[in-house]
Amino acid sequence: MRVTADRNVCVGAGLCALTAPEIFDQDDDGLVTVFKSDPDDDSRPAAREAGVLCPSGAIRITE
């Protein structure tokens, strides 16, 4: 799995950081930051959920 985020599309809703804080955070402007682009098996379900919940579609999950 590969996790990426398009900061140009991010609206700063923060659902990614709330859903998968071990993978995502928000910077001082509220935009997504990816901590782990290759999450371990235990973190993958949360990464997928964050991708589904992202209102702007900024989160991309590639299997």
Average pLDDT over residues 22-30: 96
pLDDT of residue 45: 98
Residues 6 or more apart whose CB falls under 8 angstroms from that of 25 comprise 17, 32, 33, 35
What digits encode the pLDDT tens for the residues 12-24? Answer: 999 999 999 999 9
Quick one: pLDDT at residue 18? 97
Q: Indicate the pairing of strand 2-5 with strand 59-62.
A: antiparallel
Report residue 34: phi and psi, to 5°: -95, 120
| Mean pLDDT of the 17-43 span | 96
